[in-house]
Structure 1
Amino acid sequence: MKVDVYKRPDSDGLFSYLVIPHQKPLPEEVTNTDWQMHERDVNFERDGRRHFTLQSEDAFVQISQKGYAITHLSDRAGDGAS
């Protein structure tokens, strides 16, 4: 699946990621936050690996339920690392 990846700084130097199917707009519920484009047109595969702090299967479930996937609080990354 092709996705666009957004990143935002959280507290304590941690970052969260938001994954949206490629060329879809940011969902209304996240437009009031500090999301910045991180990467466009990324291959996001259902391969059991972690992509941008998101477990691939969990991300696909989130996308099917709400149209996007977002990092869980416990899975945020430091220093903006993906």
Structure 2
Amino acid sequence: MRIDIYRRAEHAGHFSYMAVPEGKLIPEEAVNTDWELTNRGVDVEDGATQLENFSIDAPFEQIQAKGYAITSVKKLANSSP
């Protein structure tokens, strides 16, 4: 699968990331002016359980359930600047 990656600034210099299928719009419930496109057409291996560079767990399950995958809030809370 190919995805587009968006990011937005969080506290303490961290970023959260959102992955959507390539060429798809951000779903209505996630539309936020803070999201900026950072990577287009990123290849993700079938069966990937996480996108480590973006702190996204279960990307395929999240995309199937809601149309996008997003950084875990737990990962943001546990990261240091």
TM-score using structure 2 length: 0.81
Aligned alpha-carbon RMSD (Å):
1.8
Q: SS of the counterpart of 2:63?
A: helix
Unpaired segments ≥5 residues, structure 1? none
* Aligned 8 A contact 1:16 1:70 in 2: yes
Q: Would you identify which runs of 4 or more consecutive aligned residues in structure 1 move more than 2 Å? A: 46-51, 76-79
Unaligned runs of 5+ in 2: none
Quote the sequence identity (%): 39
Paired with 1:61 and 1:75, the residues of 2 have a C-alpha distance of 18
Residues paired across the two proteins, number: 77
For the 8 Å contact 1:5–1:17, the answer to whether it is kept is yes
Which has the larger share of helix?
2
CA contact (8 A) 2:49 2:59 kept: no
